[in-house]
Amino acid sequence: MPTSEFQLIDLYFSRLGAVRADVLLGVGDDCALLQVPVGKQLAVSIDTLVEGTHFFPGVDAESLGHKSLAVNLSDLAAMGAEPAWVTLALTLPRVDEVWIEAFCRGFAGLATRYQIQLVGGDTTRGPLSISVQVHGFVDPDKALRRDRAKAGDLVYVTGTLGDAGLALLTAQSGYNPGNQSVFLQQRLDRPEPRVAVAQALCGLATGAIDISDGLLSDLGHICDKSRVGTVLQQAAIPLSDPVTDYLRATGDWSIPLAAGDDYELCLIVPADRRQQLEAVAQTLDVPLSLIGEIEAGNGIRCLDDAGHPVAVAREGYDHFRKP
C-alpha cells in the first residue's frame, strides 16, 4: 500500500506506455523535457472526464482508463496529428489500489499500442476527475482544420454512428437491443480512436472533426468555422445492425444523427481527390462512408431517400446550455 503521493506516482505513473527517444526527461522532475522533431508542429489537446457528468459512478476502472486516453487520441486524430506524449491529472477520492491498477491497465494498453509515453501529471485528492492532455506532431499545412471546408467538398465518416448513443439509451430508458448489448456497451466504453485512418488520409482530407457530441453538432462546427453549409444523405449514414433495428422499431434518427460518444471521424475531402481517397480507404480496416457534400450557405440540410428534407433531430450535448 503506497503511503505517500510520491510512492503512488512512482508505483503507477513513472513508467507507463511506450519508452520514447524524444522524451529527454519524463515523470519525476518539475517539468518533462521533450524534443519536437525538426520541421513538425506540436498539436496539443486536453479533455476532462468528471464522475457523474461524463461517466456513471462505479463504472469499470479499466474502461475509464482506456476511454480517458481514447477521447484525447481522437482529438489528435481529428487534427491529423501523430500521437507522442501524454500527461495525466488525476483527482481521486481515496487510494484504492485495485481501482488505480485497473485504470492504469486500460490507459497503458492504449498508450503502448499508439507508442505514447506518459511524461507527467498531477495527483490530488477530491471528487473523481480525470484530465488527460495529449501532444502530437503534424506537418505544417497538413493539419485537418475545421475552417477549410469549401462548397463542393465531400463529407465522409468512419465506422458506424449511433452505437454509443444507443448504449446510453439502453442504460437509461430500458430499450432492449437483444443480443447486441455487449457490442453497444463496448462501443460506449472502449471507443477506438481513428488515428490510423487520419494518418492515412492526412494528405487527402483537408479537414476533420471527431464525433463526440453528435454528427449534426460536430459537422455544424465545421460549417460554422468554414462559413459553409452541408447537404447530408440520411440513407448514406453508416449504421450497425442494432441501430438499424432501433430505427426500424422507432424511426428515431436522433440516435445516429445527434447522439455523441462514438468518436468516429467526420472528414472533408475535395471532390477531385475522391478516387485517390477511395483507393486508400480500401487498405484501411475501418469503413469510410460518403454521406454528403459541402455547399454554399450555412447549416445542415438532411435529405431522405426521396430527396425530401427531414427535420433535424436535436443538437449535441452542451454542458452550459440552459434547460
Shortest distance in whole angstroms from residue 8 CB to Mg ion: 12
Return phi, psi of residue 124, to 5°. -135, 165
Binding at 28: pick from ligand ADP, Mg ion, none (beta carbon under 5-8 Å per type): ligand ADP
To the nearest 10 degrees (0 to 180), the angle between helices 5-12 and 97-113 is 40
Is 13 a binding residue for ligand ADP by CB under 6 A? The answer is: yes
Determine the Cα–Cα distance for residues 36 and 84; give it in Å rounded to an integer.
9
Determine the Cα–Cα distance for residues 105 and 244; give it in Å rounded to an integer.
34
**Only segment of 58-66, 113-121, 210-218, 309-317 that touches ligand ADP (CB under 6 A):** 113-121
Binding mask 50-79 for Mg ion (x = CB under 5 A): ------------------------------
Q: Are residues 246 and 173 in contact, defined by beta-carbon separation less than 8 angstroms?
A: no
Q: Which is nearer to ligand ADP, 88 or 259 (CB)?
A: 88
Binding at 13: pick from ligand ADP, Mg ion, none (beta carbon under 5-8 Å per type): ligand ADP
Determine the Cα–Cα distance for residues 83 and 194; give it in Å rounded to an integer.
11
Q: Are residues 210 and 263 in contact, defined by beta-carbon separation less than 8 angstroms?
A: yes
Is 304 a binding residue for Mg ion by CB under 5 A? The answer is: no
**Only segment of 24-32, 171-179, 191-199, 215-223 that touches ligand ADP (CB under 6 A):** 24-32
Among 112, 123, 233, 276, which residue sits at the site for ligand ADP (rule: CB under 6 A)? 123
Is 266 a binding residue for ligand ADP by CB under 6 A? The answer is: no
Is 4 a binding residue for ligand ADP by CB under 6 A? The answer is: no
Is 122 a binding residue for Mg ion by CB under 5 A? The answer is: yes
Nearest to 220 by CA among 315, 285, 128: 315
Shortest distance in whole angstroms from residue 89 CB to Mg ion: 8
Is 9 a binding residue for ligand ADP by CB under 6 A? The answer is: yes
Nearest to 75 by CA among 132, 35, 118: 132
User: Greatest CA separation found in the chain?
Assistant: 66
Report CA torsion sign: 195, 196, 198, 199: positive
Shortest distance in whole angstroms from residue 30 CB to ligand ADP: 5
Three cell numbers written together for 272: 477531385
Binding at 27: pick from Mg ion, ligand ADP, none (beta carbon under 5-8 Å per type): ligand ADP
**Only segment of 26-34, 55-63, 75-83, 218-226 that touches ligand ADP (CB under 6 A):** 26-34
Three cell numbers written together for 219: 459537422
Q: How many CA atoms lie within 13 A of 185 on its CB side?
A: 14
Say how far residue 287 (Cα) sits from the centre of its chain: 16
What's the one-letter identity of residue 205?
Answer: A
Among 121, 207, 256, 316, which residue sits at the site for ligand ADP (rule: CB under 6 A)? 121
Among 65, 80, 106, 120, which residue sits at the site for ligand ADP (rule: CB under 6 A)? 120
Q: Are residues 238 and 156 in contact, defined by beta-carbon separation less than 8 angstroms?
A: no
Q: Which residue is nearest to Mg ion (CB)?
A: 122
Is 96 a binding residue for ligand ADP by CB under 6 A? The answer is: no
Is 69 a binding residue for ligand ADP by CB under 6 A? The answer is: no
Determine the Cα–Cα distance for residues 203 and 142; give it in Å rounded to an integer.
6
End-to-end CA distance of the chain: 45
Is 97 a binding residue for Mg ion by CB under 5 A? The answer is: no
Determine whether 293 is exposed, middle or buried from the number of CB atoms within 10 Å of its CB (0-12, 13-18, 19+): middle
Among 122, 147, 241, 272, which residue sits at the site for ligand ADP (rule: CB under 6 A)? 122
Q: Which residues bind Mg ion (CB under 5 A)?
A: 122
Q: Which residues bind ligand ADP (CB under 6 A)?
A: 9, 13, 27-30, 88, 90, 118, 120-123
